[in-house]
Structure 1
Amino acid sequence: MSTATPRPLAVSSRGPLKGRVTVPGDKSISHRSLMFSALAVGESRIEGLLEGEDVLATAAAMRAMGATITRGDDGVWTVSGVGVGGLLQPEQALDMGNSGTSTRLLMGLVASHPITVTFTGDASLSSRPMGRAIEPLSQMGAEITSSPGGRLPLMLKGISPAVPITYTLPVASAQVKSAVLLAGLNTPGITRVIEPVPTRDHSERMLKGFGAELTVEDGPEGKIISIRGEAELKPQHIIVPGDPSSAGFWMVAASIVPGSDITIANVCMNPTRTGLIKALRMMGASIEAVDSREVGGEPVADLRVRHAPLKAIEVPPELAPSMIDEYPILFVAASVAEGRTVARGAHELRVKESDRIATMRAALEANGVVLEEFEDGLAITGTGGAPIPGGGAAVSKLDHRIAMSMTVAGLAAAAPIAIDDVAPVQTSYPAFFTVLDSLTA
């Protein structure tokens, strides 16, 4: 996985973005649709699946553990599941490529099955700590041997029956929450996760849709999510809505490039995922939701985005969990806003595919943006609508979101921005540059 030859790219201003774009299927929902379908008894169909390297790593892992997964010529995926408790011992290590979501969620699935799985990944994933998932899964009885620092490669020996636990999340993490809930699927009794700060709730919505007995209630410490184990999941027909994280690049590009007017179709508007839209609207962005509807239990809309002058804001830290993946592109929007934008509360960015705070600071600074780095974010002094200077290099650090964010920065730069490697974009948005060409044709 993800051993692509580096692909350097110089990006320069191309004029306004015009037209209609459909973004790839939501990455979080795509991962979960494959996993839950593989645990259902019977055949599920999935339309709109994101076919990036991260999601394909999940598909390969579920195949290795017994599920039958095929893609039709019409792009519809069919999954014949093995049932909860039916995962088989894979014959070799599971290569997770660059996907932290696949790794943490699959660790949860395996933890309550009597199989032993070794997880490996690329250099970027192998540098990311897994300790926050290891801790609760160990409490449930799984034996986990990791590389130093709780990193990959990692061997997990599951146990059946596992022990149901009540676990309070020490940090806001939808992946850790989901790992515990997935381990709870095959654990007798009730497994609970207490969530002091709300995070994306795709697992809860989709597990209910598959027939799991799951409840969400408010308690004194936060949301209490309870799942009854030894569940029987029923096959589903899933339509994956467009990924709001992928849509974020076009939202910002259209907002900062004069004369732009685009419509982004079928975007997931789950309230735990719309932090970037809220922040951009606070800055004065023109983002209009059209034809709001519900698809497969998720709210969806088309977004019309037009160029608008942006003003600096202090980004409310409580938005962080609902836009954690979108901070890099928000930093780009702040670079052309009027005034000094302060975006903090994003400690999580330090342990993503790269240290996204340090990586974006270096990339923007090299291209003439004035900013200040904090432990949990950046303060950025914008150009007031003028192009950023550009003319410098940007190092992506094998991080797809850095590569795409700096591409958007190049569209609003006075001189080209030289990005060292845009190959990692394949992990989440294979058609990104094709779409860029069509919107700026």
Structure 2
Amino acid sequence: MPIQTFTSSRALTGRIRVPGDKSISHRALMFAGLAVGTSRISGLLEGEDVLASAAAMRQLGAQVEREADGTWVVNGAGLGSLLEPKQALDMGNSGTSTRLMMGLLASHSITATFTGDASLSGRPMNRVIEPLSQMGASFEASSGGTLPCMLRGVSPAVPITYRLPVASAQVKSAVLLAGLNTPGITRVIEPVATRDHTERMLTGFGATVEVSEESGERVISIHGEADLKPMDVVVPGDPSSAAFFLVAASIVPGSDLVVENVGLNPTRAGIVHALRQMGADIEELFPREVGGEPVADLRVRHAPLKGAEIDPAIVPSMVDEFPVLFVAAAVAEGTTVTTGLEELRVKESDRLSTMADALKLAGAHVAEHEDGLTIIGTGGEPLRGTQDGAKVVTKLDHRIAMAMAVAGLASRDGVAIDDTAPIATSFPDFTDLLERASS
């Protein structure tokens, strides 16, 4: 296991570009694979999670190739014409790939077995199994609704109206993808708005998607037996990846860093709002729209942060960014309170307890609750860091590893991390970019 220690950093300066958005990369590969014709994707995130989606689409009959200039070319198999995979679909560490692919296959007459690594195999799939079963698909999952899991799709599937019991873009997307190949109209009702990349991109590929509001709830309707057309996709930078550098530059004195080409979809940009609430100096440069998604370059300068009470309504728009927000809170002035974070307990790790333990090990003052953390900051002083050979236990979670690497930049003794290998799932050149910005 690659153990690495991250130590106090010089100011982060210059311009960097983070990898393409993971959520959009997954969807671009899948939707292009369902279209008839050739789509070209630029800016695709080439992390292990997204490559798992590419491999799965190849098994289903799509031709997926990477050109020398980094552009990905997809010749789609066509909706309703997918091939039954000859082997199990190995989804690696990617919960997004798994849940979306289950939805995609649920309305095809295909049997497929989903497998994954140790971390993914512990994550719950019942949240998608339940609505997809209502549409006619059947599942044989491991105990607790986990992988390995065999899916038997059905065609024609039954259109449903499904109210999300928890805010989850993955569950919403799974149902909408099943609805693509289902006669009639499939509807999803979400009490709290979640990231809307699926709706935006499916519209771009030619599906009929309607978004309305009923009794204060968002209703997304998709017209089935869609005829998807190929399109060229430009993937914006991932705000979840940018978040580590927004926090790092905010807490390392003297920093003045521009993070280029960051997607600022309002259903995803909660981290920018939360950091500004804490006093961060983040400026949007050259705002523009790329492929239906709002994008800007973000200039972030060191600023004294103050503790804040984070509104739980913002959680769906930054659910993956809380680990690094906890780091910002640990060196802020005053107390930061977070609630409504139950979802963090079923990510790649239990991110509440794992981050609480990691920050305490590095000298932070943290109290863990059932649905969040309360953190008393140092008032801008460096964290102590890990000592006496102690190492942060990341539990194979890439975001824990990167968040605690950022904590190391604002520590006296550095922060040792037990395993940095999982970072490759979402941000393969994270440590290189960190070194370049602080050199």
Query: Is 1:92 aligned with 2:87?
Result: yes
The question of 1:238 aligning with 2:233 is answered: yes
SS at the partner of 2:27? helix
Tell me the amino acid that sits aligned with residue 264 of structure 1.
V
Counterpart CA distance in 1 for 2:332 and 2:81 is: 53
Normalising by structure 2, what TM-score? 0.99
In structure 1, the partner of 2:250 is 255
How far does the alpha carbon of each residue in 1:224-270 deviate from its partner, in whole angstroms, 9 at most, with x for none? 10000000000001000000000000000000000000000000000
Question: 2: CA distance between counterparts of 1:163 and 1:235?
Answer: 26
Deviations 1:58-80 (A, max 9, x none): 00000000000000000000000
- The separation in 1 between residues aligned to 2:274 and 2:353, in whole angstroms, is 21
The 5 Å alignment of 1:23-422 reads 23-220=18-215, 222-392=217-387, 393-422=391-420
CA contact (8 A) 1:134 1:144 kept: yes
In structure 2, how many angstroms separate the alpha carbons of the residues matched to 1:193 and 1:11?
A: 44
2:11: which partner in 1? 16
Give the C-alpha shift of residue 221 in structure 1: 5.4
Rounded Cα–Cα distance in structure 2 between residues aligned with 1:8 and 1:137: 41
Checking the alignment, whether the CA contact within 8 Å between 1:391 and 1:414 is kept in structure 2 is no
Residue deviations 1:339-376 (CA, integer Å, cap 9, x gap) = 01001111100000000000000000011100110111
Q: 2-side partners of 1:286 and 1:118: how far apart?
A: 48
The amino acid that maps onto 1:365 is K
SS in 1 for 2:384: strand
CA distance in 1, matches of 2:115, 2:134: 23
Matched with 1:435 is 433
Partner of residue 426 from structure 1, selected from 419, 424, 427: 424
Alpha carbons 1:195, 1:221 under 8 Å: kept: no
Give, in angstroms, the shift of residue 427 of structure 1: 0.2
User: Residues 279 and 306 of structure 2 are in contact (CA less than 8 Å); yes or no, is this contact kept in structure 1?
Assistant: yes
Tell me, in whole angstroms, the C-alpha distance in 2 between the residues paired with 1:35 and 1:398.
26
Structure 2 spans left out of the alignment, 5+ residues: none
Q: Which amino acid in 1 is paired with 2:246?
A: M
**Shift in Å at residue 417 of structure 1?**
1.0
- Shift of residue 113, structure 1, vs aligned partner: 0.4
Q: Which amino acid aligns with 2:334?
A: G
**How much does 1:288 deviate?**
0.2
Distance 2:10 2:434 in 1: 11
Task: In structure 2, give the amino acid aligned to 1:94.
Answer: L
Give the letter for the 2:396 counterpart: L
Shift of 1:391: 2.3
Regions of 4+ moved over 2 Å: none
Partners of 2:6 and 2:206 in 1: CA distance: 47
The answer on whether the counterparts of 2:399 and 2:423 sit within 8 Å (CA) in structure 1 is yes
Instruction: Verify the 8 A CA contact 1:245 1:325 in the aligned structure 2.
Output: yes
Looking at structure 1, the residues matched to 169 and 77 of structure 2 have their Cα atoms a distance apart, in angstroms, of: 25
**Paired residues of 1:268 and 1:298 also in contact (CA < 8 A):** yes
State, as a whole percentage, how many aligned pairs show the same letter.
Answer: 66
Q: Kindly state the Cα deviation for residue 276 of structure 1 after the two structures are TM-superposed.
A: 0.7
8 Å CA contact 1:249, 1:329 repeated in 2: yes
The Cα shift of 1:14 comes to 2.0
How many Å separate the matches in 1 of 2:309 and 2:406?
A: 22
SS of 2:294 mapped into structure 1: strand
Structure 2 Cα separation of the partners of residues 17 and 227 of structure 1: 45
Q: CA deviation at 1:15?
A: 1.4
Q: Distance in 2 between matches of 1:310 and 1:178?
A: 36
Q: Greater CA deviation, 57-66 or 367-376?
A: 367-376
Code of the residue aligned with 1:350 in structure 2: it is: R
User: Amino acid of the residue matched to residue 198 of structure 2?
Assistant: S
Q: Distance in 1 between matches of 2:350 and 2:243?
A: 20
In the alignment of these two chains, the number of paired residues is: 436
User: Take 2:166 and 2:153, find their aligned partners in 1: how far apart are those partners?
Assistant: 24
For structure 1, the residue ranges without an aligned partner over 5 or more in a row are 1-5
Which amino acid is 2:395 matched to?
K
Q: Distance in 2 between matches of 1:118 and 1:418?
A: 38
Name the CA distance, whole Å, in 1 between partners of 2:9 and 2:369: 33
Any conservation in 2 of the 1:194–1:221 contact (CA below 8 Å)?
no
1:255 counterpart letter in structure 2: S
Residues 285-316 of structure 1: per-residue CA shift (max 9 Å, x gap): 00000000000000000000000000000001
CA contact (8 A) 2:106 2:137 kept: yes
Q: Distance in 1 between matches of 2:414 and 2:310?
A: 29
Quote the RMSD (CA, aligned, Å): 0.6
Give secondary structure in 2 for the equivalent of 1:414.
coil
Bigger shift: residues 6-15 or 43-52? 6-15
Cα distance in structure 2, aligned partners of 1:92 and 1:221: 44
Separation in 1, partners of 2:62, 2:229: 15
